[in-house]
Structure 1
Amino acid sequence: MKNPSTLVAEATVSYIKNAFNHDLDAQSLTLQSTRKDFDGDITLVVFPLTRITRKSPTETANMIGEALKASLPEVDGFNVIQGFLNILFTDYFWWEQIQYLQTLKDFGIIPQRNRQHPILVEFSSPNTNKPLHLGHIRNNLLGASVSRILSANGHKVIKVNLVNDRGIHICKSMLAWQKWGNGETPETSGMKGDHLVGKYYVEFDKHFKAEVAAITEHGIKLEEAEKRAPIMLEVREMLLKWEAGDREIRQLWSKMNGWVYKGFESTYQKMGIEFDKI
């Protein structure tokens, strides 16, 4: 890999030797990244060199810039701001650098250090009553990126996915499937498991809204109607049975959650997302 600062330093030393017969120590040169408000990649501070060239800082910078452009095919151009020589490298030069770095398996990776505590990164955390959506994709990519950055910096990282797979929202999909599913499964429907369960969550909501609308037609306030809706009373009863450990309800819960988890895993695999604990 070619170091741009080294290229500039060596070419400058050679030019000073040939043009002024002066032995210059490359370590004495001041090279820095070009400030963002100027055009360039590397900046050479030429003020100390004027005692050798016996020229003004601007003249010295222009002479060195021309010499660098003539001797280094990697240099695309230069500009001078008083005593600062801003050097631009070609796009091809940077492309070569990137190609080389891609061959280094552990480039930028710090070996894991012995630290007292690991870092836990919790992300994704969906509910098992519907499929992953765009918000989860954002969450997944952020969580995975943070985890990889921390790992690359020598930390032990534990990636955790706290899935919310219980509660009344989960029971809504379960009840709707019991009522209108007719035994439908991911295999018989050709749907991913999380999409299938999400379909019945929507089905529950459709019937719930219809029942609420029918109740409010009799002068009942909306909030009270939502409490009285028969399907809402049923789903609350189902939740109580789940909390009491009812065997049939627990089996249905396990089966439908299994469909969702399998669907989630398919999505995670496509995204390259993995967890240490779910």
Structure 2
Amino acid sequence: MIIIDKKAIAEYLSEYVTSISVKEIKDLVEIPPPDFDFNYAFPCFHLARFEHKSPNVIANELKIKMKLPDYLESIEATGPYLNFRVKPEQILQNIFTLQEDYGKIYEKISRATSNPSRIVIEYPAPNTNKPLHFGHIRNMLLGRSLSNLLKYKGDKVFDVNLNNDRGIHICKSMFAYEMWGDGREPDKKSDHFVGEFYVKYTQMEQEDSKVIEKVYELLRLWEENDPQTKTLWKKMNNWAFKGFKETYNTLKI
């Protein structure tokens, strides 16, 4: 499978640009700013002295005569630039093929091994009263991506996951389990099992706002290290942790 990087774009361009070498083309290929909806850009200023035409004209003429390869979605001429948009499925294939090396195909990062920074990155920091959701997935992917980039740069990175496993929100799930759990064990992914009781509590509070007083009483018992309350707290937290771990393993986080 072809890896789409500056070299691949340069080799493709060399079929139509013959006045300079592939290496020179590669050195000219740019990665546009993030807010620009293209993956690569080729400035045509350098070709003007060979073609004796304006860069804008050269870019437009190249766009007209270039045949779209399988891995490109579109080619557009914008002023003096020829812009290339890679197909999303091609980018995904590159990611799956290169895995942790993806992102290193553009530029080599100067490693700061002589004086590395010590950096703590915390993610996804879930609450143990409900299952992981898409917001947590986003945080995991962003956190791990940032961690990998900084490690590649040479920094000392500490990945930290602070579980929010105590407080009134945790006691809400505990209270609902005491009301409706009947001592049951999880019959599904265990963090989802815990989350069902948080939903039940929310519904109950909508019907009776005074029920929160009983939850505060449960929190008071937890703070006083009541054995029965602490046992329930540990059991439901362990269920949540087990479910979280399944998701972490799936995402290799």
> Per the shorter chain, which TM-score range?
0.5 to 0.7
CA distance in 2, matches of 1:203, 1:103: 45
The change in CA–CA distance for 1:46 and 1:170 in structure 2 (over 3 A counts) is closer
Give the Å deviation of 1:182: 0.9
Q: Name the residue aligned to 1:145.
A: 145
TM-score by length of 2: 0.64
Q: Name the residue aligned to 1:43.
A: 44
The change in CA–CA distance for 1:141 and 1:242 in structure 2 (over 3 A counts) is same
Q: Name the residue aligned to 2:53.
A: 58
CA distance in 2, matches of 1:7, 1:248: 74
* 1:9-28 correspondence runs (5 A): 12=19
3-state SS of 1:128 partner:
coil
Say which one has the larger Rg: 1
Select between 151-160 and 172-181 the one with higher mean Cα deviation.
Answer: 151-160
Give the Å deviation of 1:149: 2.5
Give the Å deviation of 1:261: 0.5
The change in CA–CA distance for 1:174 and 1:104 in structure 2 (over 3 A counts) is closer
Q: Does 1:262 align with 2:232?
A: no
* 1:58-77 correspondence runs (5 A): 58=53
Q: Name the residue aligned to 1:179.
A: 179
Counterpart contact for 2:19–2:50, Cα < 8 Å: no
The change in CA–CA distance for 1:270 and 1:88 in structure 2 (over 3 A counts) is closer
CA distance in 2, matches of 1:104, 1:137: 18
Deviation per residue, 1:42-73 (Å, 9 max, x gap): 636256559xxxxxx239x98xx99xx9xxxx
Percent identical pairs in the alignment equals 35
Amino acid at match of 1:170: I
Q: Name the residue aligned to 1:208.
A: 205
Counterpart contact for 2:120–2:157, Cα < 8 Å: yes
Amino acid at match of 1:4: A
3-state SS of 1:145 partner:
helix
Amino acid at match of 1:154: G
Counterpart contact for 2:116–2:154, Cα < 8 Å: no
Amino acid at match of 1:238: L
Gaps (5+ residues) in structure 1?
15-25, 51-56, 70-76, 213-225
Q: Which of 196, 200, 222 does residue 199 from structure 1 map onto?
A: 196
Deviation per residue, 1:204-227 (Å, 9 max, x gap): 2223332x2xxxxxxxxxxxxx3x
* 1:41-190 correspondence runs (5 A): 41=42, 43=44, 45-46=46-47, 57-58=52-53, 106=101, 108=104, 110=109, 113-115=113-115, 117-186=117-186, 190=187
Q: Name the residue aligned to 1:216.
A: none
CA distance in 2, matches of 1:139, 1:154: 22
The change in CA–CA distance for 1:33 and 1:170 in structure 2 (over 3 A counts) is same
Deviation per residue, 1:201-256 (Å, 9 max, x gap): 1222223332x2xxxxxxxxxxxxx3xx2x32222111111111112211111111
Counterpart contact for 2:176–2:198, Cα < 8 Å: yes
Q: Name the residue aligned to 1:72.
A: none
Q: Give the aligned length.
A: 217
CA distance in 1, matches of 2:130, 2:47: 65
Give the Å deviation of 1:104: 10
CA distance in 2, matches of 1:127, 1:41: 48
Counterpart contact for 2:129–2:194, Cα < 8 Å: yes
3-state SS of 1:163 partner:
coil
Deviation per residue, 1:149-186 (Å, 9 max, x gap): 22232222222111110011111111211221111111
Give the Å deviation of 1:127: 0.8
CA distance in 2, matches of 1:232, 1:144: 37
Q: Does 1:237 align with 2:224?
A: no
CA distance in 1, matches of 2:240, 2:169: 14
Counterpart contact for 1:32–1:44, Cα < 8 Å: no
Q: CA RMSD in A?
A: 4.6
Amino acid at match of 2:227: R
Q: Which of 2, 25, 32 does residue 28 from structure 2 map onto?
A: 32
Give the Å deviation of 1:145: 2.2
